[in-house]
Structure 1
Amino acid sequence: MRKCRDLLNAYAQIVLFIESKISGKSNVYEFKRIKESFGDKVKIICLTPEVSEEHVSFIAENDVDSIIVKPISINNLIQKIAFAIRPSNSFFVEVEQIKKLIDQGLYEEAMPKIELLLNEKPSSSICMMLKGDIFKSKMDFGNAEHYYKEASKGSRLNLKPLQRLANLYLETEDAEKYLKYLLLMDRISPLNHERKISIGEQYSKNGQEDAAQKYYQEALGIVRAQANDMLASTYMEIGVKLREINPEQGLAFMRQALESKGSDFSRADLWMVNEMGLSLRKQGDWQGAVDAYQKALQVIPDEPGLHYNMGMAYFQGKEHLKAVKQFEKAVAARPEILQESPLIPFNIGMVYLQMKRFEDADRYMRAALQSDPEFEQARTALGKIRSTIGPDGTAARES
């Protein structure tokens, strides 16, 4: 928050990239706080390795401007950024002006401006919500309900109009409709533990204790999972810090981290496996690293990063054929992996070079140099390859 404030003293708008989770702690709850403080001056792009609809829905309802599911290609990344910082055209500028008028209670000035925007975009969800906000402020709850419902037709993942309807029914003490919309939002985005508590509260008020307990337990389950994530990441953090000081003890903590995850292991936890694999390889236990990657692949099949790291472990064990098999799986699963770092194609090329598969080595060294033209090790290796094969990358023929 302090960094955003400092930057906004120098710039009109900033883009904030935030991981959905860091060291087991969810950052998603911070998005609304940031938006409440800075509005559209701060654009939030959330990065997440999770692909489940319920996880994406939970992020979407927390005022995020865009979501990036990792891994992502450079082109898609640029498109995401462009969408988030799209030039403020006249429509969006006018929307911001209307919001200010409503905040000031100048409803008679705001309403004609909304109608003009609706002539431009008749089904605009934001315009419908703004009309609903005006009628709600005027205590005209019937019209407010109508326009919030119209706004809700725009997008299934847009929970804002549904939340406005729920707040409307809470304010008008319509407990039945309030509960109905809480349940609807819960079906779309079931990872909001605070909403589950509110649902449980309504059921308790109705004397439906079994239903109430179900939602209370679900809320506790979500929080318990978050607490377990923090415990696992703390074990892993200790393990990483001990890697150079006391490698055996460090590995013991890392194993505890993965054991604490148990059946809850997901794509978001891949960093733990990679840290453990790195520690095992540093100790020369490349087979132990392979075993760790294989276990992770049982949960997350065809994960390119795991295949690549397993290939590096096999390379360390001089199992070159097994190494290139894993590399090929990594590239087949995500060709863009070669662009993530010049070291990736370089390392693959070095395995092929040791196998005297010069044409394959040539191809990967060129990929490394395409990623980083100043990569001296790749240039040197390519020179050695070209002295063995022709300059066009094909095997030189004997005369």
Structure 2
Amino acid sequence: MKNAEEHDAAGYYFKTWGESMRAKTMYDKIFAYYIEKMNGSVLVISNDNYLFRISRNYIKVSGLPDSCYHCAKMSINTFKAIGRFLAHHDHVTVLMERQLEGRLSLDDIMPLKNKFRERIKVIVLSAEVDGNTIALMYEKGADNVIIKPVSQAIIIQKIVSTLTPDNKLDALIEGCKTALQMKDAQGAESYVDKILEQRPDSTIGLMLKGDVRMLQNDNEKAKYFYTKAAVSSKFYMEPLKRLVTLYNALDDLDRKIVYLKRLDKMSPLNRERKIELANSFLSLGDNEQAYTYFEQAISLAKREANEILSKTYMDISQSLLPVDYERSLEFNNKAIKAKGKYLSKDDVWMFNEKGINLRKHQRNAEAIECFNRALRISPEDPRVNYNLGVAYAEEQEVKKAAACFDIALQYDKSIMQNSVSVAYNIGLTYYNARRFDDAYELFEAAAAIDPDNPNVAEMLQNTFKKTSRYLPE
């Protein structure tokens, strides 16, 4: 393979997907403000050495103090680690793997947030998952979600987008929650009235008003405010959960089931809710419906077990990759097989990893087969189409490569805007396929990224003479 400086119309040099993300200085400044002015900190809980490396390097390059950042293996006591951080910092943002030591960590989030309250934000790290799984993460208390693999820039953007300003409304909400915890209904009502005075349609304000009425044993008014909160934000589940709790206390199982079903529709992967629904139907004597939800709970448990096994195989595969490629490939295959019937679009990344590594080991025919298998699951995936195009280009099958790049660009135009190498080499593919107008557009994109690149300038000039725009003198 030629170096980037040695490109010609027959040679290719492809960077991996997303390799050349540009820094977002606005996010850098906000993150620095969080660390330096708000006395914030970051705790990463993971076994991902790559994640450790890029995040630690960001802190170092940015000139931020080492004390604001800590990487920890999954086996640490999370509560103690956060407590130690908060002894020296006012805030901590925790980046925590969805799976810790072979178990799902989502059930740890709410206890952490209940203990440390407004001083903690939790961002869940996960390999690619479907929308229902992401909904479950948020329901379990995640403030944000990061899908891996990830770049430095994305990590900082996610942290910044998770942070909220320390304003008066936040203080009122926190004051109300504290008063409710102390069973001080009068004090809580004073806070919540001020919240609703500022924002009459505030979902959290209406929900807290319902909490105050519950504390005062005024169930009808609590029901009114919880229902109003649910209407004001159709995608926020907490008011619906309050209504479930209320109707359970009132022993109104029919109404409880109505809201449990609404929650189940919004977040269908919550295994505990399936069992709660089943138990509610059992109490009503509807065993058939109960068995349906019990079966769904069992199915979710099997899915979680397969997911953990698959992730474990992929972790082993990635650990072995630098030292034993064949064994790494073996565990990658086991990871795919472990998903069984639960294999979906969200698992395409495993095929992508396998295909990239096959290509790197000059096993292009197998890589092409692997990418094509991934496309049978997710035909529009731009990453897989891009990487399949790379494999075809290296086999000099330029028409097939160009067709793959067409699909990749159709679904993600940014690939020709973020990397000069990617834009340049897709341009070469189009050029060799004699699609000169398309090639010229890609070379223009490459020139916009790197105006001084001589190879780009040369191809831009040569290609222009072959385009429909060119009018010879």
The interval holding the TM-score normalised by the smaller chain is 0.7 to 0.9
Q: Larger relative CO (CA 8 A, sep 6+): 1 or 2? A: 2
1:226 is the counterpart of 2:322: no
Instruction: Tell me how far 1:343 sits from its aligned partner.
Output: 5.1
Matches within 5 A, 1:1-399: 1=78, 4-17=82-95, 26-46=104-124, 49-50=128-129, 52=131, 54-66=132-144, 84-243=162-321, 245-338=323-416, 344-345=422-423, 347-348=425-426, 359=440, 362-363=443-444, 365-366=446-447, 369=450, 382-386=453-457, 390=461, 394=464
Change (3 A) 1:160 1:361: closer
Q: Provide the aligned length of Structure 1 versus Structure 2.
A: 387
Change (3 A) 1:235 1:171: same
SS at match of 1:258: helix
- Measured in 1, the distance between the counterparts of 2:422 and 2:104 equals 30
Change (3 A) 1:13 1:152: same
Does the aligned pair in 2 maintain the 1:23–1:234 contact within 8 Å? no
Normalising by structure 1, we get a TM-score of: 0.80
Does the aligned pair in 2 maintain the 1:304–1:337 contact within 8 Å? no
Instruction: Tell me how far 1:103 sits from its aligned partner.
Output: 2.0
- Measured in 1, the distance between the counterparts of 2:100 and 2:450 equals 33
Instruction: Tell me how far 1:16 sits from its aligned partner.
Output: 4.2
- Report sequence identity in percent: 27
Instruction: Tell me how far 1:82 sits from its aligned partner.
Output: 5.5
SS at match of 2:121: strand
Change (3 A) 1:343 1:101: farther
| 5+ residue gaps, structure 2 | 1-77
Change (3 A) 1:183 1:37: same
Greater mean deviation of Cα atoms: 334-343 or 211-220: 334-343
In structure 2, what residue type is equivalent to 1:151? A
- Measured in 2, the distance between the counterparts of 1:389 and 1:153 equals 57
In structure 1, what residue type is equivalent to 2:174? E
Change (3 A) 1:233 1:162: same
Deviations along 1:36-65, whole A, 9 cap, x unmatched? 23223223445674454x444323322233
- Measured in 1, the distance between the counterparts of 2:240 and 2:456 equals 63
Does the aligned pair in 2 maintain the 1:338–1:367 contact within 8 Å? no
SS at match of 1:239: helix
Change (3 A) 1:227 1:156: same
Does the aligned pair in 2 maintain the 1:125–1:151 contact within 8 Å? yes
In structure 2, what residue type is equivalent to 1:306? V
Change (3 A) 1:385 1:155: closer
Does the aligned pair in 2 maintain the 1:170–1:178 contact within 8 Å? yes
Deviations along 1:246-283, whole A, 9 cap, x unmatched? 44444333223223324422233122112211232133
Instruction: Tell me how far 1:218 sits from its aligned partner.
Output: 0.4
Does the aligned pair in 1 maintain the 2:382–2:408 contact within 8 Å? yes
In structure 2, what residue type is equivalent to 1:280? L
Normalising by structure 2, we get a TM-score of: 0.69
Deviations along 1:218-260, whole A, 9 cap, x unmatched? 0111111111112223333333444455444443332232233
SS at match of 1:315: helix
SS at match of 2:413: coil
Change (3 A) 1:185 1:213: same
- Measured in 1, the distance between the counterparts of 2:280 and 2:415 equals 49
SS at match of 1:158: coil
Does the aligned pair in 1 maintain the 2:447–2:456 contact within 8 Å? no
Greater mean deviation of Cα atoms: 201-210 or 190-199: 201-210
Does the aligned pair in 2 maintain the 1:24–1:226 contact within 8 Å? no
| 5+ residue gaps, structure 1 | 371-378
Does the aligned pair in 2 maintain the 1:307–1:326 contact within 8 Å? yes
